[in-house]
Amino acid sequence: MPQSSLSANFSLCINLVNISRRSIYPACIVVENSIIKLIEPISENEITTKGFLLPGFIDSHVHIESSMLIPSEFARLAVVHGTVGTVSDPHEIANVCGMEGVEFMIENGNKVPFKFNFGAPSCVPATIFETAGAALNSEAVEQLLQKKEIKYLSEMMNFPGVLHQDQEVMKKIAAAHKAGKPVDGHAPGLRGDLAKQYIEAGISTDHECFTIEEALDKLQHGMKIIIREGSAAKNFEALIPLLEDHPNMILFCSDDKHPDSLEAGHINQLCARAIAKGIDLFNVLQAACVNPVNHYQLDIGLLKVGDPADFIIAEDLVHFNILQTYINGEALLKEGKSTIQSVPCNPINQFDCEAIDATVLSIPKLSYPSLDENIPVIEALDGQLITNKIYLPGKSANDCWVSNVQTDVLKMVVVNRYHQAPFAKCFIKNFGFKQGAIASTVAHDSHNIVAVGVDDEALAKAINLVIEAKGGISCVNGKDAELVLPLPVAGLMSANDGYTVSANYTAIDAMAKSLGSTLSAPFMTLSFMALLVIPHLKLSDKGLFDGDTFTFIE
């Protein structure tokens, strides 16, 4: 049960933001037994509470795991920014721990007064080209969809499977439709007739559009577009103009948000940025508050009589500084801090690999593809999940390819975390390190160990730090300094106080940047370099993968 199950009874006399009527007026709102019983207009001089009352914000697509916090701790940080609920895809922990992982997220989320709305992960494993810790077939997905806590089928990343009518894929989609629950999409770059075919299979949203032309293409076929602004992938600037002409078809999400970013702000930041661009206030709030409730049929109030008392008080409607957050009538802020208490949990995990030696990380010239001494290189792009596939001159020493700090072509390694296996190695550009290495067990989608560094000794040291911790992120400077943030829950999350985790993450992020990286979020960018379903070139534990041809580079 949530921490507080007491029925709330109170009234507020305040300026009310009525999104459906597109108006703002003084009103008295009466809450009885945590339900809104009355809303009636009052005169200006009857106002007793400062600020503006409006429905709470909803993150329409987020992987809680990427915050490195368990759900109960995520809630503590999120309510400070006026977030009352999330549409949460437990895809990450499912790829590590399967059904047990999804149940862990639901159980922990239920212990706090916050409205988590989980999905049934549709792609576990995400592809056959990587090693995951679990699998969820169509029967398991159908079983999950029967749970009241499961509101939708999570992002269908296997869009080739949809287009080719893969039997397992179509069974999962059919199970969601049978349960009367929507299906989330994930089809970066899909356009034209192929996008139309994908949408007509019953896919209702996409959060992967990175150009306005792609989004408009999908909108014309009836797909809702979720504008994403996370710690790494940032599409707000490109897509926000859509909100002026398509207010009922747009939602906001973070997708992946590291703890320091969550501590700083959430959906309220997107609202403030949209207002600063001159977007109509009611269109902004339609996307941030109303559309997710309607689309996913969420049990979240929208400031109507008979609704649960879920709403927030904003200091103004420009910056959206939050004065109070109410969920089921419970006030969750005191002097700007969350009143939600931390709850204990029993970590679950799946981790079985041994410490490595630097000598196993070498890349013999004859074992790696090259063309006239040019080698394939992943080009990481700041603020994007997509990468470029480029060929650059390789640097060699002792008949092995090695990192070239001068040209910023560094070695990248992926280590299977689930059992002993050969390592995958390649080269990557734009991490900018002049020394040292970073490593992480947060590596979408299968969450093997991923590392980038300037030499094999630093790489091995960083990798061994997260192996010793049974999951986490690490940074070494190649000399004597090292930091590690343990993530013992599935190698993805910490059960510690969210603000402490945020502070520790801030410290290790700063250390990574001190190595020379100019990336806005080096660890978040690193986590997507093994994400095979996003083009163009990625590295799985099985090898270098071409996301355009969906084949390994021999």
pLDDT in tens, 415-424: 999 999 999 9
Q: Which residues contact 518 (CB under 8 A, 6 or more apart)?
A: 382, 432
Query: Residue type at 288?
Result: A
pLDDT band with cut points at 50, 70 and 90 for residue 402: very high
Rg (CA), the chain: 24
pLDDT at 342 over 70: yes
In 3D space, the residue among 418, 413, 490, 423 whose CA is nearest the CA of residue 458 turns out to be 413
Going along 416-477, which residue ranges are E strands? Answer: 424-429, 437-440, 449-453, 472-476
Q: For residue 322, list its beta bridge partners.
A: 314
Q: What is the percentage of the chain residues whose pLDDT exceeds 90?
A: 92
Q: What is the predicted pLDDT for the residue at 369?
A: 86
Q: What is the percentage of the chain residues whose pLDDT exceeds 70?
A: 99
pLDDT band with cut points at 50, 70 and 90 for residue 6: low
Q: What is the predicted pLDDT for the residue at 3?
A: 64
The domain spans of the chain are 57-300, 358-552
Mean pLDDT of 337-350: 95
**Would you tell me the crossing angle of helices 138-145 and 99-109 to the nearest 10 degrees?**
20
Query: From the CB of residue 383, how many other CB atoms can be counted at a distance below 10 Å?
Result: 18
- What is the C-alpha to C-alpha distance for residues 528 and 100, in angstroms, rounded to an integer? 24
Query: From the CB of residue 38, how many other CB atoms can be counted at a distance below 10 Å?
Result: 12
pLDDT digits (tens, 9 = 90+) for 123-157: 999 889 999 999 999 999 999 999 999 999 999 99
**CATH level 3 topology of 57-300:** TIM Barrel (3.20.20)
Contact (CB, 8 A) for 236 and 276: no
Q: What is the predicted pLDDT for the residue at 305?
A: 98
pLDDT at 343 over 70: yes
Q: What is the predicted pLDDT for the residue at 1?
A: 43
pLDDT at 544 over 60: yes
Counting beta carbons within 10 angstroms of the beta carbon of residue 277, is it exposed (0 to 12), middle (13 to 18) or buried (19 or more)?
A: middle
Q: What is the predicted pLDDT for the residue at 4?
A: 55
pLDDT at 5 over 60: no
pLDDT at 2 over 80: no
Q: Which residues contact 102 (CB under 8 A, 6 or more apart)?
A: 90, 93, 94, 118, 120, 121, 144
Entry pTM: 0.94
pLDDT digits (tens, 9 = 90+) for 46-70: 999 999 999 999 999 999 999 999 9
Output the average pLDDT for the chain.
95
Sheet holding 35-41, edge to edge: 35-41, 23-32, 10-18, 52-55, 311-314, 322-327, 330-331
Q: What is the predicted pLDDT for the residue at 372?
A: 85
pLDDT band with cut points at 50, 70 and 90 for residue 370: confident
pLDDT band with cut points at 50, 70 and 90 for residue 203: very high
